[in-house]
Structure 1
Amino acid sequence: MDTMATIRQTFFQECEEQLNETETGLLALEIGEADAETVNAVFRAVHSIKGGAGAFKFERLVRFAHKFETALDRLRDHRMEPSPGVMKIMLRSADLLADLVREAQGQQEVEDARLQALSADLAGLSEDEAPAPAAASDEGDSFGFQPLTLSLDGFAPVAAMQDWRIFFRPMPDLYRRGNEPARILRELAQLGAVSTRCDASALPLLDAFDPNGAYLAWTIDLATAAPRDAVEEVFDFVRDDCELTIETVAAASAAKDEAANGDGLDFTPLTIDLPAPEAAATPREKPKPEIAKLETAKAEAPVSQTIRVDLERVDRLANLVGELVINQAMLSQSILDAGLPRACKAFDDLTSLEQLTREIQEGIMAIRAQPVKPLFQRMTRIVRELADMTGKQVRLKTEGEATEVDRTVFEKLADPLTHMIRNAIDHGLESPEERRAAGKPDQGEVRLSAAHRSGRIFIDVSDDGKGIDRARVKAKAVEKDLIAADAQLSSAEIDSLLFLPGFSTASTVSDISGRGVGMDVVRSSIQSLGGRISITSRPGLGTTFSMSLPLTLAVLDGMVVRVADQTLVAPLTAIVETLRPKAQQVHRLGVETRVLADRGVFVPLIDVGREMGYRDDEADPTLGVVIIVESEGGRRCALIVDAILDQRQVVIKSLETNYQHIPGVAAATILGDGRVALILDIDIFVAGASAHAQSPLAAE
């Protein structure tokens, strides 16, 4: 990859961060939880995108970002209030800015009509709020937004163009922080006609040259119609790292003549008052060394050090750590096979190696992990678009945005979340009129929450709408021949019909829903990640979709068991308890079905060996071990295995990728002796036993 391509890639990575900052700040403004620094952060983010885009000549992105930051500047200076109408335009502008960044990457195209319409809306905000120039009065002229205010009564208004002289000398810190004077000069050139002179008089001979030094200075003459604020804005990010003087050419020439002629002037010079923003009208005074050192330390103290790493390198490192876990297990097996006593030093060293391997693995997983905040922020745009399409008032509330999940899981969550958000808004939330009739506020709420529990990540999508109309759902399922007309279903089973292929309660097909593919896709996507999804709904109060996902798709803690001379692994997070049952605890229901009486309830017994096809005869649970497992919905079943061999951390290898899907098997792993062991899909076993769990005997 050439140097320019690398820099461009870095720019787009930074754009993602700046766009997230913009989205976060605007949402805080919308709900009234923002302060002045929030507005400044949004302004800086858009300004940074514009500056970087200008360096790569992304003209459409630069022009729109400039209009966007002009409107933001009015918010920043309190010349415009963040009213609902204003914030709607601002949020739409943030969406378009993100699309223009993707257009610059070549990922999509932005329609000219949309760009022009939103540009006009932003310009309209500025025009609506801009103060009109005051008329001349007996007390003198006021030019409002003009960069110069004249102290002479009756003086004619200045021309629209203004000539500025700028002296700019970078300090070493400017370069050390990654800033580049050439970019600043290019950005000045966007404001008007520029004439630049470089002063290289301080440049030393080669033997005295310091690579970390700063020896050049520039004098720039700029002719522009832009106000002084816009000129100073160019230097916002380097003001503390340079010597900077900005003054009119007339003032600069007068100062030069005064220095050359002394005080012997035989005329009274014209006095011009420059009311620029605080301390910016005069050359910046260089702070004393002690103060400068203190300010630098204060500014740099909270900054954490980060580096950008290619994701392919992280994935390769994670794979190597997986191989390390396998080799550690093989070493452990070799020591056991050698018959060494437990008290020998080799076992102590092996324990230390196991601990170190686990810490390394957890460290790599932490590097691969990323917070769900960017994913949640992406949903805010979908909510806004769907609210406009449906005519409903919707607010998205998020919780647990800092919750981290493995990158592989993160990348595959976008589509399921999008489907559930669409379903919640289109089917769950009522119209404003219906909500008023039900005694609810006009604005509906969709809530996204994430949390870590028991080694898994839980994500909920809920709404405060009308809930699931179970009678209608069942009638639709009968109409589509998905269930029998006389089927007796519980509330949970009726809710689960929403996940069937081809099921939809929408009466018409629209751009949002009605084709019966959304929730089926959701379940398939979640199951492919080793996750589970469930529904809870209360009529008139709302519906919640709950997803449970593994924190990582790389490793898991499992219990190694033997079934009919085969070695299998059961995920430890699903195991409730293990026991050797007594004969009086086992009961029959019919010919084929057995249940286990445990702690006052009856749990279906599943013979793993028979289910997996390892044996034909029925296993006696009293001669083996029973493992009671539980799904996220709280349903349980008891798995019959021959023996428990070990409890260890195993590396997950996808069976679908390397072979094909096998019912009842979630993945595979490599054991310490080199054999391949299958990892059981506990949800499949629990689902197969659900009919027994609903029987009167098994009811709690």
Structure 2
Amino acid sequence: MEDPLAAIRVTFFQECEEQLSELESGLIAMENGTAESETVNAVFRAVHSMKGGAGIFALDELVRFAHVFETALDKVRSGSLEATPPVVAIFLRAADILADLVRAARDGGAVDQARVADVVKAFDEIEGQKEIPGSHEEEMVADPSEAQDNVWEVTFTPYPALYAKANEAALLLRELNRLGETEIKLDTSLLPELLELDPEGAYLTWLITLKSDCEESDIRELFEFVEDDCRLEIGRSETEGFAPGTVITGDNGFKFEFFPPMEEEIEEETEVKVVEKKKEEAAPKPVEQALVHASAVQAMVTKAETANSVAPTIRVDLDRVDRMIDLVGELVINEAMLSQRVLEAGINRASGVAMALEELEHLTREIQDSVMAIRAQPVRSVFQRMPRLVREVAAMTGKQVRLVTEGEATEVDKTVIERIADPLTHMIRNAIDHGLESTESRIAAGKPAEGTVRLTAVHRSGRIVLEVADDGGGINRSRVRQKAVENGLILPDAQLSDEEIDNLIFLPGFSTAAKVSDISGRGVGMDVVRQSIQALGGRISISSRPGYGSTFTLSLPLTLAVLDGMVVSAHNHTLIIPLGAIMETLKPRAEDVFPLDGDLNMLALRGGYVPVVDVAHCLGYSVQHAEPEQSVALLVEGEGGARAVLLVDAIHGQRQVVIKSLEANYRAVPGIAAATVMGDGRVALIVDVDAVVQNAGAESNAHTAELNNLEISGGAA
């Protein structure tokens, strides 16, 4: 039989992931000393919400630990415990364990109980708590006869906002019943006639008599996450127990005792429990009472509308979104084909058909942008995994490390987000293990004892650029070269530039670790990182200064589905140049082109020299080189600011194209990033600008000095 709570359980764990992210963000703000009281409250609510949901699904281990955690947070919130760095460090460890407990409950498996016990012991030390609530093995009462039950009177009146936020009064009452024996009465005195009833209003009040040995704080804790959306009154009863004849409920559930809205009872309940009027005041007349009820309801509705001003959201399976994106991609291709057919038919651009087609093109573009925006997500989901990683690796290496993140709101396609998590994880581990020096070495070098790893994200030229930087000792190039020679990766007499030495760390099997550890040393890592980035159509580069640190830069496409490109032709072949890489187009002059050794040409441009790449010759379409002055030149820029001039035969316009993986459908081709289907049904290749610029730059480096020494008579363009 299908579990009726299965769907709710899935939603609960999805919300847990969101609450864990909010918890991590709030604790990091507390660690940095920038947290406000609202941040502390948000952290508390996140833990409390997870605890409440876990209780519904009987996840006892999660409930017990969350209770210990929220108890400490509540003391910080009330001001009885100061959020000092050591205390926040314990909170961060507790957040890690809470995440493990959530994932163990969702996916199965066990959590390291030693780690749980260590954190609980740490909580004991900072707040005096000696046991985990709910652990029956440790709960012992010296003399059961000495336990005295209190009788509490609880008045619970929900506002409309409580229901608007998908809360349910019955669940709250059920949780209250767990504290002891309850008698629950429903006051319907404010319930209007059917014609006057607002479907989104709230008119009911529950009067609960609770017999329990709990404290008032335990009762308020159950209503903590709805305290702003209800009226809650708690007080001790003057009687010793329940009156004879009342309905008492135990662990098997609770019962409602309904009272019809008779005139005498309405007057009594209104005066004593609901409106709290003085006894000496006369009961209002029916018309006046109706006005009071109407104004109270209107106030509640107004509060609900204010509370629900946040934009509503909806959860959709990712498969449905992917299917919609695929269909929109096919729509774009068919729209391009239709445009091609109209063009071939020679239809006047001013005709109704051409104008309707132009409207269709604009509409298709808007649909595509809207659909892609659905998949676009902030990189925050990846960034929020890294603080825990940093803490764990720092503890393993014995180093003091601080993680700084910037640009968490930068949006990118969800597919890209999912596939950059592993490369970033490995790079941050390497930055701590290899990049940062030991605490003693940093102090000796005049640096702060605490090292810094910076993770940033930014949009640049239609791509997302991620940087992992550290303020460590930089790449030890002599050691890198020595290890490469020892491993047989390069010849002993090889002449390599600093950049080429840095890139040796991307070779398979390369490692500078003195010994194999749980972190590194097996020679597997950075080569896999580069392969993963290249598989996404991206590039990775290194910038390092000995003694000051290193920066790894990843450049990735914003989406793996669509691309804005310039349609060009080279030797009768149609190609796509990514529009984000094109800086300008120009017509070269013969006097500005300077041939060097071999087939390399340089173009004088604004006082500098840029290598010229014949695209048709580079891709093997033509054996002969094109004449620069008879070609169209596109000035493009790759990663790191490197530039090149691409020579093509003609430019045919700008188009948004649907990206198709060439490697998955055929094989990897040097200089080609992907492919697309054009309007005439033919396949056009998308040029890998970064690879072309990189090759051109490597070839021109050997001749740059020679060119700078030439006596140039012609002026720059």
| Range of TM-score over shorter length | 0.7 to 0.9
Change (3 A) 1:398 1:429: same
Secondary structure in 2 matching 1:40: helix
The answer to whether structure 1 residue 468 and structure 2 residue 469 are counterparts is no
**1:236 aligns with one of 224, 244, 268:** 224
Give 1:55 shift. 0.8
Amino acid at match of 2:153: R
CA contact (8 A) 2:160 2:301 kept: no
- What is the correspondence of 1:27-46 to structure 2 with a 5 Å cutoff? 27-46=28-47
Distance 2:353 2:306 in 1: 51
- Please name the residue that 1:193 is paired with: 180
The answer to whether structure 1 residue 182 and structure 2 residue 170 are counterparts is yes
**1:246 aligns with one of 234, 253, 256:** 234
- Please name the residue that 2:93 is paired with: 92
Distance 2:628 2:384 in 1: 51
Distance 2:30 2:40 in 1: 8
Secondary structure in 1 matching 2:362: helix
CA contact (8 A) 1:165 1:252 kept: no
Distance 1:443 1:160 in 2: 54
How large is the Cα RMSD of the aligned pairs? 3.2
**1:383 aligns with one of 373, 390, 394:** 390
**1:672 aligns with one of 640, 662, 679:** 679
Distance 2:515 2:165 in 1: 57
Amino acid at match of 1:175: Y
Secondary structure in 1 matching 2:468: strand
Change (3 A) 1:45 1:594: same
Give 1:297 shift. 6.3
- Please name the residue that 2:496 is paired with: 489
Distance 1:254 1:195 in 2: 9
- More displaced stretch, 283-292 vs 667-676: 283-292
Distance 1:686 1:446 in 2: 30
- More displaced stretch, 89-98 vs 452-461: 452-461
CA contact (8 A) 2:62 2:101 kept: yes
Distance 1:541 1:108 in 2: 43
Amino acid at match of 1:228: E
Distance 1:226 1:466 in 2: 58
Distance 2:457 2:113 in 1: 38
Distance 1:492 1:691 in 2: 11
- Please name the residue that 2:9 is paired with: 8
CA contact (8 A) 2:570 2:616 kept: yes
Give 1:64 shift. 0.8
- Please name the residue that 2:429 is paired with: 422
Change (3 A) 1:632 1:582: same
- Please name the residue that 2:555 is paired with: 548
Distance 1:465 1:285 in 2: 67
Give 1:194 shift. 2.9
- Please name the residue that 2:150 is paired with: 162
CA contact (8 A) 2:202 2:300 kept: no
CA contact (8 A) 1:465 1:543 kept: yes
- More displaced stretch, 9-18 vs 605-614: 605-614
Give 1:95 shift. 0.8
Change (3 A) 1:305 1:87: same
- What is the correspondence of 1:510-659 to structure 2 with a 5 Å cutoff? 510-659=517-666
Distance 1:597 1:245 in 2: 82
The answer to whether structure 1 residue 694 and structure 2 residue 701 are counterparts is yes
- More displaced stretch, 537-546 vs 292-301: 292-301
- More displaced stretch, 670-679 vs 88-97: 670-679
Q: State TM-score, norm by structure 1.
A: 0.85
Q: State TM-score, norm by structure 2.
A: 0.83
Distance 1:201 1:682 in 2: 72
**2:441 aligns with one of 431, 434, 443:** 434
- What is the correspondence of 1:102-141 to structure 2 with a 5 Å cutoff? 102-106=103-107, 108-127=109-128
Deviations 1:468-503 (A, max 9, x none): 222222222222222222222222222222222222
Give 1:301 shift. 6.4
CA contact (8 A) 1:587 1:594 kept: yes
Change (3 A) 1:326 1:234: same
Distance 2:623 2:117 in 1: 72
- Please name the residue that 2:289 is paired with: none
Amino acid at match of 2:540: I
- What is the correspondence of 1:385-404 to structure 2 with a 5 Å cutoff? 385-404=392-411
Count of paired positions: 647
- What is the correspondence of 1:243-392 to structure 2 with a 5 Å cutoff? 244-250=232-238, 289=296, 292=299, 296=303, 299-300=306-307, 302-392=309-399
**Unaligned regions of 5+ residues in structure 2, if any?**
132-145, 245-271, 277-291, 709-717
Give 1:582 shift. 4.1
**Unaligned regions of 5+ residues in structure 1, if any?**
131-157, 257-281
Change (3 A) 1:563 1:372: same
Distance 1:189 1:113 in 2: 33
CA contact (8 A) 1:243 1:284 kept: no
Give 1:49 shift. 0.5
Distance 1:663 1:376 in 2: 32
Secondary structure in 2 matching 1:289: helix
Change (3 A) 1:68 1:223: farther
Distance 2:223 2:404 in 1: 37
Distance 1:375 1:468 in 2: 26
Give 1:167 shift. 3.8
CA contact (8 A) 2:23 2:95 kept: yes
CA contact (8 A) 1:194 1:220 kept: no
Distance 1:543 1:353 in 2: 49
Amino acid at match of 1:508: K
Distance 1:238 1:691 in 2: 64
Give 1:584 shift. 4.4
CA contact (8 A) 1:467 1:538 kept: yes
Change (3 A) 1:535 1:169: same
CA contact (8 A) 1:67 1:123 kept: no
Distance 1:525 1:343 in 2: 49
Secondary structure in 2 matching 1:483: coil
Change (3 A) 1:609 1:352: same
Amino acid at match of 1:110: V
CA contact (8 A) 2:543 2:550 kept: yes
Deviations 1:437-463 (A, max 9, x none): 111111111111111122111211111
Give 1:21 shift. 1.3
The answer to whether structure 1 residue 683 and structure 2 residue 670 are counterparts is no
Change (3 A) 1:558 1:108: farther
- Please name the residue that 1:54 is paired with: 55
Identity of aligned residues (%): 57
CA contact (8 A) 2:161 2:303 kept: no
Secondary structure in 2 matching 1:230: helix
CA contact (8 A) 2:471 2:548 kept: yes
- Please name the residue that 2:139 is paired with: none
Change (3 A) 1:240 1:558: closer
- Please name the residue that 1:452 is paired with: 459
CA contact (8 A) 1:99 1:110 kept: yes
Give 1:612 shift. 3.0
CA contact (8 A) 1:495 1:535 kept: yes
Change (3 A) 1:219 1:689: same
Secondary structure in 1 matching 2:488: coil
Give 1:558 shift. 0.9
Distance 1:240 1:580 in 2: 68
Deviations 1:375-428 (A, max 9, x none): 111101011111111111111111111111111111111111111111111111
Secondary structure in 2 matching 1:238: helix
Deviations 1:211-249 (A, max 9, x none): 767677655443444321121121123345445442223
Distance 1:206 1:298 in 2: 22
Give 1:609 shift. 2.9
Secondary structure in 1 matching 2:325: helix
